[in-house]
Amino acid sequence: MVTGDSDRALRARALCAVETVCDPEIPVLTIADLGVLRDVTVRNGAVEVTITPTYSGCPAMDVIRIEIELALARAGINDARVRSVLAPAWTTDWMTEAGRRKLRDYGIAPPTPGAGRGALFGSGPVACPRCGSMDTAQIAEFGSTSCKSLWRCQACREPFDAFKCH
């Protein structure tokens, strides 16, 4: 086997391992669902995992880094490095459709696909993740974490978090 072939096999094994790492603040999402996992590269047997935080200073990134290292170690990969990159800045457009569905099923209103950073300048309607009603109102700019806001459905009267668009 030539080096390129063994690097490809190692990349596939590393990618399989890190794609299972969950976001510590929203455990139903993997870092792949969230779009935080940017790339896995292998050069001469050394693995490098590239991640981008949802926002600068996100407290979950230290835990995510540790969980990536543990996942790689469980897969028998010890020559690994986790690198954080800030540019381009993370956007909710990087979330997968599966991730959006998982958020909704978990009771968090997912960001609207394609809203991206433009939604920071004005929030559009947010559908209630419980009943689907668009008759909702924002209660607070911040929810259970900084990346979510708190809303209430006027139809079913239930409060819920909505993932902010970035």
pLDDT of 59-98, one tens digit each?
899 999 999 999 999 999 999 999 999 999 999 999 999 9
**CB neighbour list of residue 137: distance below 8 Å, 6 or more residues apart:** 151, 152, 154
Domain limits, CATH 3.30.300.130, in the chain: 3-84
pLDDT at residue 2, rounded to an integer: 44
pTM of the model: 0.82
C-alpha to C-alpha distances, 15 to 42, 50, 102, 127, nearest whole angstrom: 10, 11, 21, 34
Q: Comparing 71 with 163, which gets the higher pLDDT?
A: 71
pLDDT at 112: 80
- pLDDT of 42-60, one tens digit each? 998 999 999 999 887 888 9
Block residue for tokens 């490098």 = 48
Of the listed ranges 22-26, 37-41, 80-84, 114-118, the least confidently predicted one is 114-118
Fold of 3-84: GMP Synthetase; Chain A, domain 3 (3.30.300)
Between CA 139 and CA 98 the distance in angstroms is: 27
Q: What percent of the chain has pLDDT over 90?
A: 70
